[in-house]
Amino acid sequence: MGLRGKTWFPILYMFIVTLTLSAILILFGNITRQRVTNNERIAYERAVLRALPVDLPSGAGPAQIHNIFLANITDPDEKSAGAHRYMVEDSLLAYALPFEGAGFWAPIKGVIGISRDRKTITGIAFYEQNETPGLGGEIVKTEFTRQFVGKKLAMTPPYIEFLPATATLDESSVHAITGATQTSNRLGKFMNTILGTWREHMDDPQ
C-alpha cells in the first residue's frame, strides 16, 4: 500500500493542490489588480466627461481621459452635494452628479451633467449596467442619452419624466425605451430621487 492508501493522504493532497492553485491565482491577481482598478476608474471618468459639455476627442485613450478629468473636474464635496464640478479657469461651468440604483437585472450606475444654472441637463452617461441587451441595455445608446441634452429639470418631482414613445415631449420629459418598461421605470424613479436630494442640498446647504 503506497501513500494513496494512507488515511491522511487525501487531506494532504487537497491541501497541496489548493495551495498551488491559490498561489497562482493570487500571483495573477496581483499582476492584474492595478489594471482592473484603472479600468474601473477610467470607465467612471469617461462617464463623467460624457455627461458634461467637455470636448472629448473620439477614440480618446485611457491616459487622455484621465488627464482631461484631472485638469477640469473636482472631487465631489459637501458644497456641491456629492457632485463633481466642471471648472475651466476657476469658473464653474457645470455639475456632474453620480447616481445609482437597482435596474431590472443588476445595479445601474451613471452620471448626469447639470449646467451651473442647476436646471439644464448637459448630458447623461452610464458606466455600469447589466440590462437586457437590445431592450433595457439601450439606455447606453446615443439615441436614448442624447434626448437628455438641453432638457430642464422641472420645479417639482418628477424633475425629468419618462414618457411612452408615442407621447409628446415637453422641456422636462424624455421618451422611455419601448419594450423595457421595468428598466425605464426604475431608472426614472431612482434618478429623480437622487436629483431631488441634490437640489434640496444645493438650495438649502444646511
Partner 1 sequence: MMPQKSTKDVVLTAVWGDNPVFRQILGICSALAVTNLVLNTLVMGLAVVFTTALSGFTVSLLRKWTPRVIRMMIEVLIIAFYVILFDQTLKAYWPEMSRNLGPYVGLIITNCIIMGRAEAFANANPPLLSFVDGLFSGLGYALVLLAVAVIRELLGMGSLLGIPMPLFSSALWDRWIIMVMPPGAFFTLAIIVWLARTIQVDKDIKKQGGK
User: How many residues form the binding site for partner 1 (CB under 8 A)?
Assistant: 27
With CA atoms as reference, report the closest residue to 125 among 158, 148, 154, 102. Answer: 148
The site map against partner 1 for 64-103 (x = CB under 8 A) is ----------------------------------------
Q: How far is the CB of 111 from partner 1 (least distance, A)?
A: 16
Stretch that binds partner 1, among 68-76, 93-101, 132-140, 182-190 (CB under 8 A): 132-140
Candidate list 81, 135, 163, 202; residue touching partner 1; CB under 8 A: 135
Q: Please tell me whether residue 179 binds partner 1 under the rule CB under 8 A.
A: yes
Q: Please tell me whether residue 107 binds partner 1 under the rule CB under 8 A.
A: no
Cα 158 to Cα 192: distance, rounded to the nearest angstrom: 6
Stretch that binds partner 1, among 29-37, 48-56, 91-99, 193-201 (CB under 8 A): 29-37
Candidate list 74, 87, 93, 128; residue touching partner 1; CB under 8 A: 128
Long-range contacts of 65-72 (CB under 8 A, 24+ apart): 66/41, 66/42, 69/45
**Cβ(110)–Cβ(160) below 8 Å:** no
Rounded to 5°, angle at Cα 178 from 177 and 184: 40
Q: Please tell me whether residue 15 binds partner 1 under the rule CB under 8 A.
A: no
- Residues that bind partner 1 in the complex, under the rule CB under 8 A: 4, 9-10, 13-14, 17-18, 21, 24-25, 28-29, 32, 35-36, 39-40, 43, 105-106, 128, 130, 132-135, 179
